[in-house]
Amino acid sequence: MDLLYEKCAQRAAGTIFFQRDLQNMQVAETLGELTMLVGQLCAQHLLKLMTFDSEMCWKLRTRSEADKLRRLNPDERLLYHHIDQAQNEGIWSKALRARTNVTQQLLTKCLKSLESKDLVQSVMSVKFPNRKMYLLKDLRPSEDIAGGPWQSEGDFDAALIDTISGVVARYIESETCIKVPGNWNDYTPMDRAQAIAQKKAQVQGVRDIEDSLAVQPYKPPVDPTAVRVVHRNNPQYPTAGTVASWLNAKEILKDKHVRDDDMEQLLEMMVLDGRLEKISGATYRTVLMASDTKTFNGFVDAPCGNCPVFDLCGEGAISARTCVYFGEWLATESEVI
């Protein structure tokens, strides 16, 4: 029996064994003996019986896990069984009670003990925020209850979202924008217009006012290191789909797959954030600001636009005459009362 267990344990964790796999291990002499051995292992919770396509199959449990399971009381074991069946979808505590017919008290007690034994975990469902879902400890909650790659513990993972949106923003910028150095077009202002005008004047024998006005244009000095970011000519605007496959290919998110929907959620959020803008139905690009000085508008840039006592201000003690904010802003004295 131990031999069979050891042989199975040599395989990668989580492997599923069918009968023929076990037979091929050549531990048992006869099929009957094998069946008996498997039965013993199951009884000790070292193997877990499952079915796949109505064929029996088994999965190995660790010795410590089996140990814990052996120590469960029958109620706990029953609940464990049902939770196990729900797999990573999890099962709602109410549903669990309906299925097992145990009393609420017992249920609570058993679940507590299971949790304390590190066998099951509870997760708040994202779909139904007031439902507590139970699933086995070693399983990752499905997206239905845990809410996609951006959430953990039922809540948005701010740090993760921050990192990934930064990565995505950089990617989209490189796709849709181009960095142009200050000296990109280092022309010598050759006065062609003037040349043409002169020629024209010679031919026509008259001076056209407009042409003669072509004075040497003023060429501002450029700083070759001053890089300007401009929108690309004819870019392939990314969609949620393209960004998702790019991100998945980069494998930045460990063992998480980002579906197109997830990516769309993230990109839409970034649009709300003002980092991306939508071009047509489903394509995005980076928001560029050509000037760095940001002013808001006439109202909020003045003291009153941000004033905490705006609604109280008027004729009385708080007024434009006594206003400290104006005093500060203009560096003048206000009336003291």
Q: Does 161 bind another protein (CB under 8 A)?
A: yes
Residue 309 binding result from ligand SF4, another protein, none, given CB thresholds of 5 to 8 Å by partner type: ligand SF4
Residue 192 binding result from ligand SF4, another protein, none, given CB thresholds of 5 to 8 Å by partner type: another protein
Helices (H), 129-212: 143-146, 158-176, 192-204, 209-212
Nearer to ligand SF4, 183 or 306 (CB): 306
Contact 150, 160 (CB under 8 A): yes
Residue 32 binding result from ligand SF4, another protein, none, given CB thresholds of 5 to 8 Å by partner type: none
Residue 22 binding result from ligand SF4, another protein, none, given CB thresholds of 5 to 8 Å by partner type: none
Residue 281 binding result from ligand SF4, another protein, none, given CB thresholds of 5 to 8 Å by partner type: none
| Minimum separation from the CB atom of position 295 to ligand SF4 (A) | 18
User: Does residue 140 come out as left (phi exceeding 0), alpha (psi in the -120 to 50 range) or beta?
Assistant: beta
Strand, helix or coil at 122? strand
Which residues have C-beta within 8 Å of that of residue 191, sequence separation ≥ 6? 214, 216
| Minimum separation from the CB atom of position 322 to another protein (A) | 9
Residue 19 binding result from another protein, ligand SF4, none, given CB thresholds of 5 to 8 Å by partner type: none
| Minimum separation from the CB atom of position 107 to another protein (A) | 24
| Minimum separation from the CB atom of position 327 to ligand SF4 (A) | 9
Q: Which of 74, 189, 221, 316 binds another protein (CB under 8 A)?
A: 189
Q: Rounded to the nearest 5°, which phi and psi values hold at 161?
A: -60, -40
User: Does residue 257 come out as left (phi exceeding 0), alpha (psi in the -120 to 50 range) or beta?
Assistant: beta
Distances (CA, A) of 171 to 175, 267, 276, 279, 298: 6, 12, 12, 16, 36
Nearer to ligand SF4, 284 or 325 (CB): 325
Which residues have C-beta within 8 Å of that of residue 299, sequence separation ≥ 6? 305
Nearer to another protein, 2 or 301 (CB): 301
Q: Rounded to the nearest 5°, which phi and psi values hold at 277?
A: -135, 150
Which tokens in the block code for residue 21? 């796999």
Amino acid at 196: I
Interface positions, 214-273, toward another protein (CB under 8 A): 214-215, 217-219, 228, 230-233, 265-266, 268-269, 271-273
Q: By CB neighbour count within 10 A (0-12 exposed, 13-18 middle, 19+ buried), where does 96 fall?
A: buried
Q: Which of 55, 191, 223, 328 binds another protein (CB under 8 A)?
A: 191
Interface positions, 6-65, toward another protein (CB under 8 A): none
Question: How many CB atoms are closer than 10 A to CB 172?
Answer: 24
Residues engaged in binding ligand SF4 (CB under 6 A): 303-304, 307, 309-310, 313, 318, 320, 323, 325-326
| Minimum separation from the CB atom of position 241 to another protein (A) | 19
Which tokens in the block code for residue 86? 């729900």
| Minimum separation from the CB atom of position 78 to another protein (A) | 34
| Minimum separation from the CB atom of position 294 to ligand SF4 (A) | 21
Interface positions, 112-151, toward another protein (CB under 8 A): 129, 150
Nearer to another protein, 96 or 270 (CB): 270
Paired strand residues for 231: 177
CA-closest candidate to residue 276, choices 179, 178, 165: 165
Contact 69, 61 (CB under 8 A): yes
Nearer to ligand SF4, 128 or 310 (CB): 310
